[in-house]
């Protein structure tokens, strides 16, 4: 097995619990804050009372309990908002995407606790896709396993979901063993080709490569076919005009049917 087919090098595996990773992030930081404040109060108590007594310790902590709870709640809310609007965990979004798209099989089991008659529901996943996420400097990579499930056709065209979801563009799509590797780049990093008056439209080129962006080049000899799709107003006509102009600059024969 090649090194690039080992799951260890594919990044973080997407798991169902990551839907709540922002709550977990906020909960851990709020808990650390609570423990720290309790530790500070305990140090203050020890400086005043040399002997440890439970009743005295409780009486010392009692006036501070409300402030501890309010402070912990405020820290939790602030961290939750930071995680949701600033950090924006892509693992959370991918886990939610798997749920909303229905790329799973799960069973909800109703159980009762052993000593106290309390009913609760437990979700068990019979199938969950093997998907990995890795963050790069200006791009992010998603690996998904071609497992032969009824969802595999969707995995083969995953870019149709990911591109609008993360406001990004597909940079590379590659089959590696039983995995399909997608690399996406957020649009804020894409250096698009701009048609303006500063370009020399009469310049003649003698190659077969047309720059789509500063990172993507189309070789119309190696890949002579193309399908241009997109929403209304997305720039399809403008893009075709650019391609036709570039073909004319290469003295190519252009036929409009």
108 vs 149, more confident: 149
| Integer Cα distance of 185 and 103 in angstroms | 24
Asked whether residue 55 is domain-assigned, the answer is no
- DSSP state for residue 134 in the 8-state scheme: E
pLDDT in tens, 10-33: 889 999 999 999 999 999 999 999
pLDDT band at 49 (very low <50, low <70, confident <90, very high): confident
| Angle, helix 21-48 to helix 90-101, in steps of 10 degrees | 140
pLDDT at 190 over 60: no
List C-alpha distances in Å: 120 to 53, 99, 109, 112: 40, 21, 8, 6
pLDDT band at 187 (very low <50, low <70, confident <90, very high): confident
The per-residue pLDDT for 58 is 87
What is the domain count for the chain? 1
Helix ranges, 49-141 (H): 54-61, 65-82, 90-101
Asked whether residue 196 is domain-assigned, the answer is yes
Asked whether residue 255 is domain-assigned, the answer is yes
pLDDT band at 204 (very low <50, low <70, confident <90, very high): low
State what percent of residues in the chain have pLDDT above 90: 41
Number of Cα atoms under 13 Å in the Cβ half of residue 218: 16
pLDDT at 178 over 80: yes
Going by their DSSP bridges, the two strands 105-112 and 119-127 should be labelled as antiparallel
Q: Which of 156, 53, 67, 63 is nearest to 103 (CA)?
A: 156
The per-residue pLDDT for 5 is 53
pLDDT at 4 over 80: no
The per-residue pLDDT for 156 is 94
The per-residue pLDDT for 107 is 86
| Integer Cα distance of 114 and 120 in angstroms | 12
List C-alpha distances in Å: 79 to 31, 34, 38: 11, 14, 20
pLDDT band at 202 (very low <50, low <70, confident <90, very high): low
Mean residue pLDDT across the chain: 85
Residue 196: domain span: 191-257
pLDDT in tens, 217-249: 888 888 888 888 877 777 788 888 888 888 888
**Entry field: residues in the chain:** 257
Average pLDDT over residues 111-127: 78
**2 three-state secondary structure:** coil
Asked whether residue 234 is domain-assigned, the answer is yes
91 in Cβ contact with 49 (< 8 Å): no
SS3 per-residue string spanning 226-249? CCCCCCCCCCHHHHHHHHHHHHHH
Nearest 5°: phi and psi at 145?
-85, 135
Residues 6+ apart with CB under 8 A from 90: 133, 135, 140, 166
State what percent of residues in the chain have pLDDT above 70: 89
Average pLDDT over residues 38-63: 87
| Integer Cα distance of 158 and 132 in angstroms | 13
Asked whether residue 62 is domain-assigned, the answer is no
């Amino acid at each position: 097995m090649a090194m690039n087919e080992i799951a260890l090098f594919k990044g973080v595996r997407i798991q169902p619990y990551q839907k709540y990773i922002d709550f977990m992030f906020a909960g851990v930081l709020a808990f650390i804050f609570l423990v720290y404040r309790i530790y500070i109060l305990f140090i203050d108590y020890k400086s005043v009372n040399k002997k440890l007594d439970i009743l005295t310790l409780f009486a010392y902590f009692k006036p501070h309990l409300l402030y501890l709870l309010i402070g912990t709640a405020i820290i939790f809310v602030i961290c939750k908002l930071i995680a949701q609007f600033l950090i924006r965990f892509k693992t959370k979004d991918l886990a939610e995407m798997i749920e909303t798209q229905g790329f799973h099989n799960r069973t909800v089991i109703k159980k009762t606790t052993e000593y106290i008659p309390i009913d609760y529901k437990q979700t068990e996943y019979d199938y969950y896709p093997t998907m990995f996420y890795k963050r790069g400097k200006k791009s992010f990579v998603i690996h998904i396993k071609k497992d032969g499930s009824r969802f595999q056709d969707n995995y083969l065209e995953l870019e149709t979901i990911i591109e609008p979801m993360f406001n990004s563009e597909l940079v590379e799509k590659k089959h590696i063993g039983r995995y399909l590797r997608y690399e996406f780049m957020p649009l804020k990093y894409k250096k698009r080709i701009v048609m303006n008056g500063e370009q020399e439209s009469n310049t003649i080129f003698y190659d077969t490569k047309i720059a789509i962006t500063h990172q993507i080049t189309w070789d119309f000899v190696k890949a002579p076919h193309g399908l241009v799709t997109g929403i209304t107003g997305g720039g399809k006509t403008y893009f075709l005009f650019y391609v036709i102009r570039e073909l004319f600059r290469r003295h190519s024969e252009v036929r409009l049917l």
